[in-house]
């Protein structure tokens, strides 16, 4: 497994060892021993999958403490633009946006620590988005920011007339520059 550090502390790109031949390929999408060897000691308790069609934008979501989540995200089918925003109080990269293309071909994964908002847009005709979480979902702790908030200046790579955003996400507040206490 190759680990690439981004310019935001703790936000990591993971690339599995892929074994390909004329039949297709094989790779371990997760191996706890490899995580421990690399000092990535997370205990994932929940796996989630979302199927979406082209133009869907999901996010920007996070869970407040004590139910905050670290996520390990990947795309086993299709292609998405994955976005993470550092919301950790005191972080030197507070408010910074990071994005990466995740798809079934590059097999890259993004490890998103607790304290980040997260979202993605579907760039292919359809996609399957898979993520592991180190804490359980809690409706009473869910929060987020409007995915089209002008502060973040996210290019979702979807034309405005093709964007599909849930009413719930469109009702999310805009980002407040002040870190949460």
List 42, 120, 131, 145, catalytic entry:
131
Handedness of CA 31, 33, 37, 41 (dihedral sign): positive
**Per-residue pLDDT at 34:** 94
For residue range 97-153, list pLDDT tens digits in order.
999 999 999 999 999 999 999 999 999 999 999 999 999 999 999 999 999 999 999
* Number of separate helices (H) and strands (E) present in the chain: 2, 14
**179 pLDDT more than 60:** no
Q: All domains of the chain, ordered by start, with CATH?
A: 2-170 (2.60.120.10)
36 φ, ψ (degrees, to nearest 5): -65, -45
pTM of the model: 0.94
Q: Is 61 one of the catalytic residues? A: yes
Supply 64's token pair: 């407040």
**2 vs 179, higher pLDDT:** 2
| Cα 76 from Cα 78, distance rounded (Å) | 7
Catalytic residue (choose from 61, 118, 130, 146)? 61
pLDDT of residue 176: 75
What would the pLDDT profile of 41-86 be if each residue is shown by its tens digit? 999 999 999 999 999 999 999 999 999 999 999 999 999 999 999 9
Helix (H) or strand (E) holding 48: strand 46-53
Residue 174: predicted pLDDT: 95
The pLDDT value given to residue 178 = 55
Pull the structure tokens for residue 112.
Answer: 């998103």
Residue 178 backbone dihedrals phi, psi, to 5 degrees: -80, 130
DSSP H stretches of helix in 38-156? none
Beta carbons within 10 angstroms of residue 77's beta carbon = 14
Please enumerate in sequence order all residues whose Cβ is within 8 A of that of 43, keeping only pairs 6 or more positions apart, or say none. 134
pLDDT at 180: 54
* pLDDT (tens digit per residue) in 3-40: 999 999 999 999 999 999 999 999 999 999 999 999 99
Any catalytic annotation for residue 30?
no
The dihedral built from the CA positions of residue 77, 83, 87 and 90, taken in this order, carries a sign that is positive
């Amino acid at each position: 497994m190759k680990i690439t550090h981004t310019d935001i502390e703790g936000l990591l790109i993971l690339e599995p060892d892929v074994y390909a031949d004329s039949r297709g390929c094989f790779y371990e999408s997760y191996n706890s021993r490899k995580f421990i060897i690399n000092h990535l000691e997370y205990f994932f308790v929940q796996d989630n999958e979302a199927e979406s069609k082209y133009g869907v934008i999901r996010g920007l979501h996070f869970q407040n403490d004590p139910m905050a989540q670290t996520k390990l995200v990947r795309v086993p089918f299709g292609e998405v633009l994955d976005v993470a925003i550092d919301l950790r109080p005191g972080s030197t990269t507070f408010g910074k946006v990071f994005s990466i293309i995740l798809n079934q071909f590059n097999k890259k994964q993004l490890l998103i620590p607790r304290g980040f908002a997260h979202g993605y847009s579907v760039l292919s005709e359809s996609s399957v988005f898979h993520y592991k979480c180190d804490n359980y979902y809690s409706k009473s702790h869910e929060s987020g920011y409007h995915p089209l908030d002008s502060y973040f200046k996210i290019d979702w790579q979807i034309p405005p007339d093709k964007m599909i955003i849930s009413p719930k996400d469109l009702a999310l507040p805009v980002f407040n520059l002040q870190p949460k206490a």
